[in-house]
Amino acid sequence: MSLVMDRASAQHGLRAGAIVLVVFGLFVLLGLAGIGFGSTWISLDKVLHVIFGGGEKSERLVVLQLRTPRVMAAAIAGAAIAFSGYLLQRITRNELASPGVLGVVDGAALGVVLFLALYSNESNALTVPVAWQPLAAATGALAAITLVFILSGRQASSAIRLILFGIAVAAVAKALTTIFMLIGPIYQAAQAARWLAGSVNAIGWSEIQIMAWALLPVTAIAGLLARELPPADLDDVSSRSIGLNLPVYRVAVFAVAALLTAIAVAFVGGVGFIGLIAPHLARLLVGRARFAGIVTSMMLGAMMLVGADLLVRVAFAPTEVPAGTVTAIVGAPYFLFLLMRKDKTNG
């Protein structure tokens, strides 16, 4: 009996591993397609040729300087936002939680708009290095999530309350963002609007480097924190009675999740719903397995943003529609679907 059971659980592990591999394969294919497609089509073999050091000069320019940074930025940011969403969904024990719902994205947006308002000069240039922009976004995001926590007060352990206050704080941040864009000079508004919708079209290698270096330590800390997630899956009394310092742990996870999203959106803008959908799909695919869940979430998040960017390039060319519009158009109905399904299971 138990032998059969153990084989079943081994098969379960194999299945999760196989799914991770398949998702990885799709991710690589999509990345290559993202580099190949555009105003001029570069076939996959040429793309690979360039990546391994060959190819014509013009192809090298398009592939290495224009398209690869775009795909890289989208992949890194999408993965970071998805990881953030994974952490939030686990720690709140609620599949509706996401960086967007908890006010993180709108808080970051407010931070960026304030930053642009304060540090731009009249020739539309920043008076401080662009490297400060993620710091502004992170500050905004952390301020928003801190406010959500303070407002929830004693009921911070109730996921529904957190989400309700998150939505409220997000709405206020959004309103303030709009006000600053309206009362600020017009060049800032244009710059801010492009950021708000979320797009990866103007990102170069230097920005990717900053983003990657900023994300690296935060991702490492998030990975370490994620090891303590299973005890936090239990109710508050149980998780604390087995020795998890839940109040401290919860704040740490929220802070790290907020930082992951803040750094990502600081560079690619307010792309929505990736943090909601990617971890949810990953859970459907690989179940509760933690490592597989995190890796799958990150790859799905990366694929979603790379795919959205690819779609806007192919479908709307030559107009540069922000990739964030695609993730929102796909994501919003998915959120509604989850809400309605939850209603059904509750009542």
Partner 1 sequence: MAELAPSRIEVRDLTLMYGHDTVLDALSLPVPAGKVTVLAGPNGCGKSTLLRAIRRLHQGQRGQILLDGVDIGALGAKDLARQIGLLAQSPSAPPDMSVEELVRLGRYPHQAMLQPWSEKDGAAVNRAMVGTGVDTLKHRRIGSLSGGQLQRAWIAMVLAQETDIICLDEPVNHLDMAHQLDCLDLVAKLNREAGRTIVLVLHDLNLAARYADQLVFVHEGRVRALGRPEELMTPELLAEVFEVDAAIMTDPVHGRPICIPRGRAKAKSVREIA
Give the ranges where the chain is alpha helix by DSSP (H): 2-36, 44-51, 57-60, 68-91, 104-119, 132-152, 159-183, 186-197, 205-226, 229-232, 236-241, 246-268, 274-286, 290-316, 323-346
Residue 38 sits in the site that holds partner 1 (CB under 8 A):
no
Q: Which tokens hold the place of 99? A: 């960086």
Of 109, 108, 103, the closest CA to residue 145 belongs to: 103
Of 49, 50, 44, the closest CA to residue 64 belongs to: 50
**Site residues (CB under 8 A) for partner 1, limited to 9-28:** 9
Residue 320 sits in the site that holds partner 1 (CB under 8 A):
no
Q: Measure the CA–CA gap between 31 and 70, rounded to whole angstroms.
A: 10
What minimum distance in Å lies between the beta carbon of 152 and partner 1?
Answer: 15
Contact 73, 200 (CB under 8 A): yes
What minimum distance in Å lies between the beta carbon of 242 and partner 1?
Answer: 5
Q: Measure the CA–CA gap between 85 and 98, rounded to whole angstroms.
A: 5
Closer Cβ to partner 1, 67 or 90, answer by number: 90
Which residue stretch of 2-10, 21-29, 63-71, 326-334 sits at the interface with partner 1 (rule: CB under 8 A)? 2-10
Q: Measure the CA–CA gap between 66 and 78, rounded to whole angstroms.
A: 19
Residue 5 sits in the site that holds partner 1 (CB under 8 A):
yes
Which residue stretch of 170-178, 233-241, 255-263, 266-274 sits at the interface with partner 1 (rule: CB under 8 A)? 233-241
Closer Cβ to partner 1, 294 or 308, answer by number: 294
What minimum distance in Å lies between the beta carbon of 345 and partner 1?
Answer: 11
Count of chain residues binding partner 1 (CB under 8 A): 23
Residue 223 sits in the site that holds partner 1 (CB under 8 A):
no
Residue numbers at the binding site for partner 1 (CB under 8 A): 1-2, 5, 8-9, 93, 224, 227, 230-231, 233-235, 237-238, 240-245, 287-288
